[in-house]
Structure 1
Amino acid sequence: MKLFKQANIYSPEHLGIKDVLVSGSKIIAIDNNISVSSSHGLEIVDCQGTILVPGFIDSLVHITGGGGEGGFTTRTPQMPFSDAVKGGVTSLVGVLGTDAVSRSLEDLLAKAKALKENGLSVYCHTGSYHYPVLTISNSIEKDIMLIEEFIGVGEVAIADHRGSQMSWQELARVAAQARVGGMLSGKSGIVSIHVGDGESGLDLLHDVANNSDIPLSQFYPTHINRTKQVLEQGLVLAKAGGYIDFTTSTTEQILADGEIAAPQALKNALDNGVNIKQITMSSDGNASLPVFDENGRLTDLQIGQVQSLHQALVDAVKELNINFEDALKTITSNPANILALYNKGEIKQGFDADIVLLNKETLNIEQVFAHGQCLMNRQGKIKSTYFNL
């Protein structure tokens, strides 16, 4: 058991100064002053000077690496366990990307299981950028229903020269299969959408919603801060009931080419009246961050960083004066609700004890707990693992 004393709690709603009692992997009590009759086996965590928040949820990470757009030497590496912990990420979703040939769903699933054994909560999407959708069982429904870690499909690429140039009918069939698989297994069945900078933008999602029984909320489009045009389309989609996700990993070159930094995109969305519940941020960790010339040739490539998710939170609050609760929702309760992770994203009785302690002044990460276990202590030491995979 662990007793977090005198914690300034953001659930993400502000709860004030309270104690949090954790037993095993669950939060079992939140109250003004909790006392335990026996101290045997009880660990006290002094939270004075910190803010206690839910563990961050990163809805898009290339845990087995990504890239390859410039040949084999541009394949990006796997995500180490320590990268997630240092970034305060206790739950994440692993995906494939452009390369579903040298990267496989079987390897993605094995990596997810390794990260889970080290203490994280890890989920995956079946499929990749391409259509027909790559699966393990030869069925989207079966993958989602029968494989514990699989909760949806994606990221499927639209408006991108690396995608399969799908029709709306093809995307509708993918969404329908994911939807049914999710319904029958109690999962989200979400379709993660990679949005490129092509002229068609988000049109394909509206085409599906307007011509079928699939709602916009079945889709979870990311990279909505890629360009001003895509951002404007994203605001329209969110106001129509869809979700939008901003990517926190970027480079100076990509920003100079027209991408909007995720914190600024968040501010723009809020200033334009988008409901905060429709907005999330994700890192795109360990993805390639490619730059192409006008002929589609690769000119530069960097690697996405999971820790950019926390930095975007800090920048949103410290530099843009975005309400802390709102910024925090985009990486905790909002992705939990969209992905149907019912015991995640909030500091609440009965929920998983995924907890991050932030310095109240700087918002730097001081300690990280997942399922009630300390993964990073105040000295920055990461929980011992066999190989830090």
Structure 2
Amino acid sequence: MITLIKNGEIYAPEYLGRQSILLIGGEIVKIGEMNENKLLDLDLEVQLVDAEGSIVVPGLIDPHVHLIGGGGEGGFSTRTPELQLSEIIKSGITTVVGCLGTDGTTRHMTSLLAKAKGLEEEGVTAYIYTGNYHIPTPTITSSVKDDVILIDKVIGAGEIAISDSRSAQPSLHEVGKLVAEARIGGLLSNKAGVTHFHVGPGKDRLTFLHRLLEEYEIPASKLYATHIMRSRELMDDAISLSQKGAFVDITADETTGEWIKYFKENGGELERLTLSSDGNGSLPKFNDQGQLIGMGVASPHTLYEQVTRAVKEQGLPLTEVLRFVTLNTANALCLPKKGRLQEGHDADVTIVNNETLEIEHVFAKGRHMLKDRKTIVKGTFEK
């Protein structure tokens, strides 16, 4: 696979101007001026993509996706379905990280691992966290540390629930031991070894994570808290945590742009902020008594939709917002060849219209997956 993308405005995510990008196999080989005629004279099959009037950006990374579905808080009929390849591609996403949620009984780590491997075979990059809301948490090898070390797709633990009535109400020491296991596993396997925390609406907010940093020998960068936009108080707590070096994540919804501005204006560390979709996870609504009163399903489309809204409606710079779904996420998850348009990096590229920001093309590991706004590569059982 040889692809030349020409005449596009490059955001890597920083602005590089109008340049060409050459993809060979699954790698970005060159960014800059290129002699198209010499390339065609090689007598090799070369795909030319004219990105005139378009913006070329890194493929998005979604660090929190329920690949095999989630939910179930309203009974068996409320379990959400598996995510399909085309839903990922249409969202401009080329890398996903799968997780379990509340249910670690009828959904299994081995099924999540198989789904991630299946998505890899279908064309995107997929990783997973080991565990679910609860501590002790489900694993593949019976050890969080061993899962991270021995299972190629496992890059950390999560999503562990805190400040939520659906958590296992663990002690601080239990949480500290799990974080330490994930971190040691990461050290021994050269992976992120992060622990990804589901933060509920509870009154304790991020108290556990602040105490971990104060009372235990835990590097702040190994804590990664999501759903931080539930309230202003929780966002203030997340800003404080980011200032200590932890990563924090906003689950994309219609308020995302406003929360990004709030985070920025109140001293949040922008290099520690990411966005995720919670794709195919359930969106349960509970009353003050903890009773389920409504249910929805999150969509991976929300991630890029909120990127565009943050730019168009909140006036945030595209270079800044792109970092939250590309480079920052790659740094949080220790994925050195992801999240950036750079020679030698993976050929994950999304092309969007310069005016509307609508997604026009998606390349995942160099393979053309979405062309002229139409999905050309679908999952094995998709029509």
TM-score bin (small chain)? over 0.9
Alignment CA distance shift 1:34-1:27 (3 Å)? farther
Offset from partner CA, 1:203-260 (integer Å, 9 cap, x none):
000111100100222110000001121111111111222211000147xxxxxxxxxx
Find the counterpart in structure 1 of residue 80 from structure 2: 76
- Contact 2:86–2:375 (8 Å) recurs in 1: no
Q: Indicate whether 1:168 and 2:169 are aligned.
A: no
Deviation at residue 39 of structure 1 after TM alignment: 4.5
Alignment CA distance shift 1:31-1:341 (3 Å)? same
Distance 1:212 1:88 in 2: 39
The residue type paired with residue 48 of structure 1 is E
Offset from partner CA, 1:346-376 (integer Å, 9 cap, x none):
0000000000000000111001100100111
Distance 1:374 1:309 in 2: 21
Find the counterpart in structure 1 of residue 53 from structure 2: 49
- Contact 1:3–1:20 (8 Å) recurs in 2: yes
- Contact 2:86–2:379 (8 Å) recurs in 1: no
Aligned length: 379
Q: Alignment partner for residue 345 of structure 2, among 338, 345, 351?
A: 351
Find the counterpart in structure 2 of residue 233 from structure 1: 237
Offset from partner CA, 1:304-329 (integer Å, 9 cap, x none):
00010000100110000011111000
Alignment CA distance shift 1:241-1:379 (3 Å)? closer
The residue type paired with residue 328 of structure 1 is L
Find the counterpart in structure 1 of residue 42 from structure 2: 38
Find the counterpart in structure 2 of residue 125 from structure 1: 129
Q: Indicate whether 1:193 and 2:197 are aligned.
A: yes
- Contact 1:60–1:284 (8 Å) recurs in 2: yes
Could you tell which deviates more after superposition, 210-219 or 353-362?
210-219
Q: Alignment partner for residue 312 of structure 1, among 283, 306, 309?
A: 306
The residue type paired with residue 340 of structure 1 is C
What aligned pairs does 1:142-291 form with structure 2 within 5 A after superposition? 142-249=146-253, 261-291=255-285
- Contact 1:180–1:189 (8 Å) recurs in 2: yes
Distance 1:303 1:381 in 2: 22
Q: Alignment partner for residue 327 of structure 2, among 320, 324, 333?
A: 333
Q: Indicate whether 1:296 and 2:290 are aligned.
A: yes
Distance 1:145 1:212 in 2: 22
Name the SS of the counterpart of 2:9 in structure 1. Answer: strand
Q: Indicate whether 1:372 and 2:366 are aligned.
A: yes
Name the SS of the counterpart of 1:231 in structure 2. Answer: helix
- Contact 1:367–1:376 (8 Å) recurs in 2: yes
Name the SS of the counterpart of 1:201 in structure 2. Answer: coil
Tell me, which stretches of 5 or more residues in structure 1 are unaligned? 251-260
Distance 2:265 2:350 in 1: 28
- Contact 1:182–1:189 (8 Å) recurs in 2: yes
- Contact 1:249–1:285 (8 Å) recurs in 2: no
Find the counterpart in structure 2 of residue 4 from structure 1: 5
Deviation at residue 33 of structure 1 after TM alignment: 3.2
RMSD in angstroms over aligned alpha carbons? Answer: 1.2
- Contact 2:4–2:21 (8 Å) recurs in 1: yes
Name the SS of the counterpart of 2:68 in structure 1. Answer: coil
Q: Alignment partner for residue 108 of structure 2, among 104, 109, 123?
A: 104
Distance 2:202 2:183 in 1: 27
The residue type paired with residue 23 of structure 2 is V
Find the counterpart in structure 2 of residue 254 from structure 1: none
The residue type paired with residue 242 of structure 1 is A
- Contact 1:17–1:32 (8 Å) recurs in 2: no
The residue type paired with residue 152 of structure 2 is E
- Contact 1:55–1:354 (8 Å) recurs in 2: yes
- Contact 1:21–1:34 (8 Å) recurs in 2: no
Alignment CA distance shift 1:44-1:97 (3 Å)? same
Q: Alignment partner for residue 60 of structure 1, among 64, 67, 74?
A: 64
The residue type paired with residue 14 of structure 1 is Y
Offset from partner CA, 1:169-203 (integer Å, 9 cap, x none):
11110011100100110100000000000000000
Deviation at residue 264 of structure 1 after TM alignment: 1.1
Q: Indicate whether 1:381 and 2:362 are aligned.
A: no
Name the SS of the counterpart of 2:88 in structure 1. Answer: helix
Distance 1:43 1:274 in 2: 43
